[in-house]
Amino acid sequence: MDASELRRGKVAAHLIWGAPTSVLVGDFLFARAFELMVETDSMRALGILAEASRVISEGEVLQLTRAHDLNLDQDVYLQIISAKTAELFAAAAEAGAVGAGADAAAVKALRDYGMALGIAFQLADDALDYGATAEALGKNAGDDFNEGKATLPLLLGAARTRGREAAFWERTITKGERTPEDFGRARELIVGSGAIGATLDLAGDYADRAKAAVSALPASDWRTALEDLADFAVSRAA
C-alpha cells in the first residue's frame, strides 16, 4: 500500500514480483490463515481474528482519509494506530489466551497488554522513520514523510515550528510538492523541535501500560518475556 522499497531489511515483494502477484499471494496467505483457525474448532478465537481484520482495514481507510492533514488531532492519530496496528497485537494476545483456556480476567489482561504494546510499537516505529537509518529501521527512512503521512513526530514537529516554517510544511505535506532534499530538512526540524523525544516518551507510557496489564498474572518466565518485549518495542528506537 505504501510502495515502500524495503520491508524488514529486504527488497519489497512488489518490486520483485510486481503488485498483482504480491497482492494475490497475500490474499492466499490470508485465506490459509483462516483455514488454520477453523481447524482449531474455536469459534471464539476465529471471531476475535475476523473482527481484528475488519478493524485493521477500517484503520487503514481512516488513515488514508486523513493523510496530509497537519491539523490531525492527537486523539484521532491514536485512534488510527490503535485500529491499524494495535488491534492486531491485541487480537493475537487475546486469541492466544482463549486458545490456552485462560479465565476471563487473564484474557482481558492479555488483550489490554496487546493493545498497549501495539500502540507503543507504532509510536516508536513512527519516531524511527525520522531518527534511524534504513539498516536499523528495516525499511527506508523517510517513507512516512515521502507519503505525506501524518504521524505524531510530523504533527508535533510541524506544530512546534509552523510559525517560521509554515510554507515548508504547506508545500511538502499539504500540497505534496516534495524534492529529494526535503526529507533532510524535515528531519532536522522534527528532531530539533523535540518531537522525536515527545513521541518516544508517549511510547514509553504505553509500554508501561502494557507491563501493568500483565502484572496481575502469575509471576513466570513468560510474564517476564512479555514485559521485556514491551521495553524492547520502545528501546529499539532509543
Q: What is the pLDDT of residues 38-70, one digit of tens each?
A: 887 888 888 998 899 899 999 999 988 888 899
DSSP conformation letters of 151-203: -HHHHHHHHHHHHHHHHHHIIIIIS----TTHHHHHHHHHHHTTHHHHHHHHH
Question: Is the pLDDT confidence value at 33 over 90?
Answer: no
Which cell numbers hold the place of 162?
A: 509552523
Q: Domain 43-235 sits in which CATH superfamily?
A: Farnesyl Diphosphate Synthase (1.10.600.10)
pLDDT of the residue at 228: 97
As a whole-number percent, the residues of the chain with pLDDT over 90 amount to 65
Asked if residue 70 lies in contact with residue 160, where contact means CB atoms within 8 angstroms, the answer is no
Distances (CA, A) of 220 to 93, 127, 150, 217: 17, 32, 40, 9
Domain ranges of the chain: 7-39, 43-235
This prediction has a pTM of 0.86
Question: Is the pLDDT confidence value at 220 over 90?
Answer: yes
Please report which confidence band the pLDDT of residue 167 belongs to, taking 50, 70 and 90 as the band edges: very high
More confident residue, 27 or 203: 203
Report the alpha-carbon distance of residue 124 to residue 10 in Å, rounded: 20
More confident residue, 15 or 229: 229
pLDDT of the residue at 45: 87
Please state the φ and ψ torsions of residue 10, each to the nearest 5 degrees.
Answer: -115, 155
Report the alpha-carbon distance of residue 58 to residue 84 in Å, rounded: 7
pLDDT of the residue at 136: 55
Instruction: Report the sign of the C-alpha dihedral through residues 176, 180, 183, 185, in that order.
Output: negative
Report the alpha-carbon distance of residue 80 to residue 149 in Å, rounded: 12
> 104-146 pLDDT, tens per residue?
999 999 999 999 999 999 999 999 989 765 555 555 678 889 8
